Amino acid sequence: MAIRLQKVLADAGVASRRAAEEFITSGRVAVNGKVVTTLGTRVDPATDRVAVDGEVVKPVRKVYVALHKPKGYTCTQSDPHAARRVGELLPPEWSNVYPVGRLDRESEGLLFLTNDGDFCLRVTHPRYGVHKRYLVTVSGRAEPWMLERFRKGVVCNEETLKIVQGKILASSPAGSLVEIELAEGRYREVRRLFASEGLEVERLVRTQIGPIKLGELRLGRWRTLTPGELKTLLTP
């Protein structure tokens, strides 16, 4: 059965589907020895020979990992400029998995890693409605009107940043603890939102992705997602 080339790459754990599209358009992918740069090209994995940078793509066992990311780790497997990478916390044989979305280096909490491009798309693209929750410690007093402003949206560098909902758990002039829910995690979105009100984020912990909670997973440790968890994540 013929399927889209970028899906073949994603299913093989080469990259997420979005990244696979970049591989194709940049001329890194060949089918039966011929470079293909057209998105939407269909191939039959059973009969066609697909290669990336000259290496034949082979099907791999799908892996779905939940990791409690510590502060100071970069969400990458291979960046040579990163002092510490989340891939270092996983078994060596899982070198082909990649982060689902991202947490910036100074943030902590729940992070998924996988070699399944479809899973990555389903969890990260806002049209699928997989929300993320965070516990945020900020300097200074957080006020309810700030969260209402965040909910309506804040324009920053021609980009609209917004939350789905928020709750102040503790607040004082010295600092506040706030729970935030996002529909789409834009680059440093929570930090930029609070910065717009003059508050610095001192600690940011992602506690939940969709129905999956960080729970008692210890800092720096990982576990595989159960079939039941995968079903609840991927069920529309």
Closest CA to 36 of 17, 49, 18: 49
What does 125-188 look like in DSSP terms, one character per residue? SGGG---EEEEEEEES---HHHHHHHHH-EEETTEEE--SEEEEEEEETTEEEEEEEESS--TT
Q: Is residue 236 part of a domain?
A: no
Q: Are residues 78 and 34 in the same domain?
A: no
Residue type, 144: P
Q: What is the pLDDT of residues 17-45, one digit of tens each?
A: 788 889 999 999 999 999 999 988 998 88
**What pLDDT sits at residue 209?**
96
Where does a domain end: 18, 35, 56?
A: 56
Q: What is the pLDDT of residue 78?
A: 67
CA atoms within 13 A of residue 8's CA, in its CB half-sphere: 27
Say if residue 10 is in the same domain as residue 114.
no
Q: What is the three-class DSSP state of 20?
A: helix
The answer on 90 and 37 residing in a single domain is no
pLDDT digit string, tens, across residues 183-209: 988 889 999 999 999 999 999 999 999
Q: Is residue 33 domain-shared with residue 80, that is, in the same domain?
A: no
Is there a domain that residue 229 lies in? no
The total number of structural domains in the chain stands at 2
- The CATH number that applies at residue 50 is 3.10.290.10
Residues 86 and 47 grouped into a single domain: no
**Active site residues per annotation:** 104
Residue 65 and residue 155 in one domain: yes
Burial of 80 (0-12, 13-18, 19+ CB in 10 A): exposed
Instruction: Specify whether 123 is located in the same domain as 143.
Output: yes
Per-residue pLDDT of the chain (236 residues; tens, 9 = 90+): 788 888 888 877 787 778 888 999 999 999 999 999 998 899 888 788 999 999 898 877 889 999 999 999 998 766 667 788 999 999 988 888 889 988 999 999 999 999 888 888 899 988 899 999 999 999 999 999 999 999 999 998 889 999 999 999 999 999 999 999 999 888 899 999 999 999 999 999 999 999 999 999 999 999 999 999 999 998 76
Domain membership of residue 231 (yes or no) is no
